[in-house]
Amino acid sequence: MSVLITGCSFQYRKSVAVFRNLNLEFQPGATVVLGPNGAGKSTLLSLIVGLLQPDSGTVRVGDLASHVRRTRPQYRRSVGWLPQNVTAMPGLKVREQVAYAGPLKGLSRRDAWDSAARALHRVAMLDLADRPSRALSGGQLRRVGIAQTLVHDARLVVMDEPSAGLDPRQRRSLRDVLNAVAGDVDVLVSTHQTEDISDVYQHVAVLNHGVVRYHGTVPSFLALAKPGTESSRQAEDAYIRLVGASE
Successive 10-residue mean pLDDT values, the chain, 247 residues: 94 90 95 93 95 95 93 89 89 95 86 93 92 92 90 89 82 84 89 85 95 96 94 93 73
**Residue 117 forms part of a structural domain:** yes
**Residue 31 forms part of a structural domain:** no
**Residue 28 forms part of a structural domain:** no
Question: pTM of whole model > 0.85?
Answer: yes
**Residue 231 forms part of a structural domain:** no
Closest to 142 (Cα-Cα) out of 88, 92, 76, 101: 88
- What is the model's pLDDT at position 70? 93
- What is the model's pLDDT at position 59? 97
- What is the model's pLDDT at position 169? 83
- What is the model's pLDDT at position 245? 57
Domain count, the chain: 1
**Residue 234 forms part of a structural domain:** no
Do the beta carbons of residue 66 and residue 72 sit within 8 Å?
Answer: yes
Residue 103: HSE in the Cβ half-sphere, 13 Å Cα cutoff? 8
**Residue 211 forms part of a structural domain:** no
Domain limits at 136? 86-154
**Residue 96 forms part of a structural domain:** yes
**Residue 91 forms part of a structural domain:** yes
